[in-house]
Amino acid sequence: MIKVIFPDGVESSCNEGTTFFEVLKGHDSEILKNSVAVKVDGELKDLRAALKGDSTVRVEPVTADSKEGLEILRHSASHVMAQAVKSLYGNVKLAIGPAIEDGFYYDFDTEKPFTPEDLEKIEARMKEIVKADYRFTSDALPKKDAIALFAGMGERYKEEIISEIPDPTVSVYRQSDFTDLCRGPHVPSTGYIKAFKLTGMAGAYWRGSEKNKMLQRVYGTAFATKEALKEHLDRLEEAKRRDHRKLGKELDLFSTSEEIGSGLVLWHPLGSTVRRLIEDFWKNEHVKDDYSIVYTPHVAQVGLWKTSGHWDFYRENLYSPMDVEGQEYIVKPMNCPFHIQIYKSRLRSYRDLPIRYAELGTVYRYERSGALHGLLRVRGFTQDDAHIFMTPSQLEEEIKGVLKFTLYILKSFGFNEFDIFLSTRPEKYVGDLENWTRAEAALKGALESTGLKYSIDPGEGVFYGPKIDIKIKDVIGRSWQCSTIQVDFNLPERFDVTYRDENGAESRPIMIHRALMGSLERFFGCLVEHYAGAFPTWFAPVQAVILTVTDRNNDYAETVCKRLREEGIRAELDKRNEKLGFKIREAQLKKIPYQLVIGDNEVKDGMVAPRKRGGETLPAMPLDEFIRHIQAENRPGVLK
């Protein structure tokens, strides 16, 4: 007999060989209805797996709507999709099909790309497989038998994967006549997958390498209930409406050009206006926070990044050197070595520290073309970068200061929800463990002293130090990685950076690398999607447009436009000989916060008639009153 302990403290005794399905049924049949798997002493298991081994085990149900349950549900759905594809297109070869955040995908090697019509057929076949309610069963096979099994099916990608597995046995799963390589666990049967949808297609190189064959990736999603699936699909539709690439074109904010090169952004006048407003706010706030603004070159000798270690750790993301009079130069991939050189330009005392250098520095990194995505993943981007040099005793206070500053900047642009992660030492790192431990402790201490909730992200630090990552949440609940705070003991060592301490001896400062917005390109893309292009008044590219009813109103309208501009309000004049309704509609499509209608009454009374972009009409008012009204909104944090 094996003693089973449940999360609620209830204990029971079961025979070895009893399935977990039977274990849960005996404990609570209602919980069983919502369960897709179990945790046994913390390890995920199939419900159809059996008790064995230890005399006492802790068993926890895994429900379909939990994070782990959804991952199991989605992974099972990917197997159902693969079964559907194989039954419809027998010559297709299978690659991999994992669960991912919010869904799943499977990569297929097919002679011709799938079409939207193919997706409809695949989804229909999946529904048939779900309705048939085939059991998921598993087997452990010796590697050679597994290789022979998949070789016999012509599944060369599975053969390749199995050959690299170090274990002597591998796990395979079956449902009906379909077999796949998988560790599991899975839902008990295909009938558990009641709410799913195929969502799209893309190309994907095998193992992410351009040297390998391009495969067809089919995406899908699955949820515990049809209601949850509908909510998700509605969010996807809303995300499409907010897509910054679509809105960037519609609102004439930015573009890219294949003649210039992929991943290199052209900022149009309206987008440049928003960027300028962001930059001006950023610079002013940094000066207030005792940072010094610096500027550095776009190219430098490659030796800088060999000294820093970036050349060894990130070589695949750096551009190839160019020869300049016998010296190798590269376009800069990051700003930190430049700021170190500024620091080293003269002797520093402990009395000078902390020193804070900030730069809106444009850098260039080689991203694979398949990874590029609008403004969110580019090859040339401007980091809102800063590097702080300090004594060891100043470290925790500086981290707290950066945390406070980061949240202030993000909240000023309307982001008020965050996920915060402390990323610890990666597998490949430089420096000694004592410094890593000190740096991680300082980051943790700063987070805890400020009362911020955070999660540990093990092994995700950068090679020279641990970091805090702050992900912002937008208005529809999506997370975006923007802000980062990194502690670095190693670059000061590598570049021999020193200061004179209170005893006159040379000491080594600590560095903080930090970016509050991440990059202007990515942050701008987030802003476009967060506001669906309808920016708050204070950083809208055009704040007000003056619309004339007839040509005889033009002179007064020009006077109004001139006065607004003199008051620092970004105004435009539309005196085209078009119907007023047409001009109002066009201004709304441009998402301009205010339209000022000028007709005969407004001219006669010296007034303006404001309309908000949402359609709300304000009472006619003197121009001075409207100026005060808009100036009240014309500052960060006033998000109307």
In a domain, 608, yes or no: yes
Average pLDDT over residues 514-536: 95
Dihedral Cα 524, 527, 528, 531, nearest 10 deg: -170
pLDDT category, 174, cuts 50, 70, 90?
very high
Residue 514 pairs in a beta bridge with 386, 485
Under 8 Å between Cβ of 501 and 347? no
Catalytic residue among 45, 79, 232, 365: 365
> Which CATH number do you get for residue 147?
3.30.980.10
- Domain-embedded: residue 247: no
Active site residue 513: yes
Same domain for 145 and 163? yes
Q: How far apart are the first and last CA of the chain?
A: 66
DSSP one-letter string for 396-453: HHHHHHHHHHHHHHHHHTT---EEEEEE---SS--S-HHHHHHHHHHHHHHHHHTT--
Position 23 in a domain: yes
User: For residue 249, is it within any domain?
Assistant: no
Q: At what angle do helices 143-152 and 156-163 cross, to 10 degrees?
A: 170
How far apart (Å, rounded) are the C-alpha atoms in residues 301 and 311?
12
Q: What is the tens place of the pLDDT at every residue in 206-215?
A: 988 888 999 9
What percent of the chain is predicted at pLDDT more than 90? 78
Question: Are residues 446 and 562 located together in one domain of the fold?
Answer: no
Question: With 90 as the cut, is the pLDDT of residue 522 above it?
Answer: yes
Give the C-alpha separation, 141 to 415, whole Å.
Answer: 51
Question: In this structure, are 190 and 322 located in the same domain?
Answer: no
Same domain, 75 and 45: no
**Which contacts qualify for 313-320: CB closer than 8 Å, 24 or more apart?**
313/428, 313/463, 314/365, 316/366, 317/365, 317/366, 317/367, 318/365, 318/366, 319/364, 319/365, 319/366
Tell me which of 74, 387, 425, 514 is the catalytic residue.
Answer: 387
Residues 464 and 446: their CA atoms lie apart, in Å, by 19
User: What confidence tier does 182 reach under pLDDT thresholds 50, 70, 90?
Assistant: very high
pLDDT of 353: 97
Q: Which of 339, 356, 379, 467 is catalytic?
A: 467
Across 32-36, 239-243, 291-295, 423-427, the highest mean pLDDT is recorded for 291-295
Quick one: pLDDT at residue 638? 53
> Does 248 fall in a domain?
no
Residues 80 and 210 in one domain: yes
Report how far residue 413's alpha carbon sits from residue 21's, in angstroms, rounded to the nearest whole number: 51
The mean pLDDT value of the chain amounts to 93
Same domain, 38 and 72: no
Annotated active-site residue 310? The verdict is: no
Considering the candidates 385, 469, 474, 488, report the single residue annotated as catalytic: 385
pLDDT at 8: 85
* CATH number for the domain harbouring residue 29: 3.10.20.30
Position 320 scores a pLDDT of 93
pLDDT in tens, 142-152: 999 999 999 99
Task: Give the domain range for residue 422.
Answer: 254-531
Listed residue (600, 604, 614, 545) closest to 576, CA to CA: 545
**What angle in degrees, to the nearest 10, is found between the helix axes of 520-531 and 226-242?**
120
> Does residue 25 form part of some domain?
yes
Average confidence (pLDDT) over 15-34: 85
Which of 83, 383, 394, 543 does the annotation list as catalytic?
A: 383
Calpha distance 348→73 (Å, rounded): 59
- Which position among 158, 180, 182, 336 bears the catalytic label? 336
- Do 18 and 155 sit in the same domain of this protein? no
Instruction: Look at residue 582 and tell me if it is in a domain.
Output: yes
- Same domain for 443 and 516, yes or no, is yes
Is the confidence at residue 237, as pLDDT, over 50?
Answer: yes
Task: Report the pLDDT averaged over residues 569-598.
Answer: 95
Check whether residue 313 and residue 412 sit in a common domain.
yes
In a domain, residue 73? The reply is: yes
Contacts for 55 with CB less than 8 Å, ≥ 6 apart: 2, 3
Q: What is the structure's pLDDT at 385?
A: 94
Question: How far from 95 is each of 211, 371, 376, CA to CA, in Å?
Answer: 16, 20, 28
Q: Stretch 258-272: mean pLDDT, rounded?
A: 95
Residues 186, 309, single domain; the answer is no
Kindly state the average pLDDT of the residues 500-524.
95
- Under the banding of pLDDT at 50, 70 and 90, the label for residue 640 is very low
The residue out of 242, 262, 292 marking a domain boundary is 242
Residue 42 above 60 pLDDT? yes
Q: How confident is the model over 285-310, as a mean pLDDT?
A: 95
Structural domain total, the chain? 4
Q: Does position 429 have pLDDT exceeding 50, yes or no?
A: yes
Alpha-carbon distance of 226 to 216, in angstroms, equals 27
Phi, psi (rounded to 5 degrees) for 557: -60, -40
Cα 254 to Cα 443: distance, rounded to the nearest angstrom = 37
pLDDT at 175 over 90: yes
Q: Indicate if 99 and 224 belong to the same structural domain.
A: yes
> pLDDT tens, 337-395?
999 999 999 999 999 999 999 999 999 999 888 788 999 999 999 999 999 999 999 99
Q: For the packed helices 395-412 and 433-449, what is the interaxial angle rounded to 10 degrees?
A: 50
Residue 321, burial from CB neighbour count under 10 angstroms (0-12, 13-18, 19+): middle
pLDDT surpasses 70 at 439: yes
- 464: pLDDT strictly greater than 50: yes
According to DSSP, the residues that pair with 510 across neighbouring strands are: 390
- Which amino acid is it at 130? V
**Over residues 287-316, mean pLDDT:** 93
Q: Of 515, 531, 547, which closes a domain?
A: 531
C-alpha of 315 from chain center: 23
Q: Of 202, 218, 242, which residue is a domain's last?
A: 242
Q: 541 and 504 in one domain?
A: no
Asked if residue 477 has pLDDT above 50, the reply is yes
- State how beta strands 571-574 and 43-45 pair: unpaired
* CATH number of 307's domain: 3.30.930.10
Q: Does 467 participate in catalysis according to the annotation?
A: yes
Q: What is the pLDDT of residue 310?
A: 87
Measured CA to CA, the distance from residue 232 to residue 262 in angstroms comes to: 31
CATH number for the domain that contains residue 547: 3.40.50.800
Q: pTM (2 decimals)?
A: 0.85
